[in-house]
Amino acid sequence: MTNTHINATTSHLISGKDDVKGTKVYNPAGEDLGHIDDILIDPASGKIVYGLLQFGGFLGIGSDYHPVPFAKLRYDSTLGGYVTDLTKEQLEGAPAYEDNWRSDRDWQQRSYDHYGVRPYWF
C-alpha cells in the first residue's frame, strides 16, 4: 500500500455517515470521473478495503459499480476527493461482479491480484 501521504498539519477526519458517499473521484489530470457510492470495511482490522465506485460513462464504460481496492484511491485534500490512475482496461478486465463478492475470499483474491494490490488480509 502506498496510499499514505499524511500531512500532520492538515489532518481532517471524514465522517463515514456524511462524507463518504458521493465523494468525487478524479483522474490524474483532475477530470471528474464519477463518485464513491460506498466503502467496504474489513470489520476485524478497521480498514477500508474496497471503494465501490460509480462511473458515469467513464472512458466509454457505461455507468456501473466497480469494487476497487481502496489502495488504488489516493485522497487529495486540495480537490476534496480521490484521485485514481485506473484505466479502462483494468476496469474491463476485472473479475465480473458477483452478488456474494463481499463474502467471497476467492473473488477478493482474484480482484486484488487483478489490480496488483497486496491482499488486505495479510
Residues that bind its own copies in the complex, under the rule CB under 8 A: 3-9, 11-21, 37-50, 70-71, 73, 75, 77, 102-103, 105, 108, 121
Give the residue with the Cβ less far from its own copies, 97 or 121. Answer: 121
Give the residue with the Cβ less far from its own copies, 62 or 100. Answer: 100
Kind of pairing between the strands at 81-83 and 24-26: parallel
Cα→Cα distances 60→11, 13, 121, Å: 36, 34, 33
Residue 32 beta carbon to its own copies: minimum distance, rounded to whole angstroms? 18
Give the residue with the Cβ less far from its own copies, 93 or 121. Answer: 121
| Dist. CA 91–CA 81, nearest whole Å | 20
Question: Positive or negative, the Cα torsion across 7, 26, 107, 48?
Answer: positive
Residue 107 beta carbon to its own copies: minimum distance, rounded to whole angstroms? 11
Residue 39 beta carbon to its own copies: minimum distance, rounded to whole angstroms? 4
Taking the alpha carbons at both ends of the chain, their separation in whole angstroms is 12
Residue 63 beta carbon to its own copies: minimum distance, rounded to whole angstroms? 18
Give the residue with the Cβ less far from its own copies, 88 or 118. Answer: 118
| Dist. CA 115–CA 41, nearest whole Å | 18
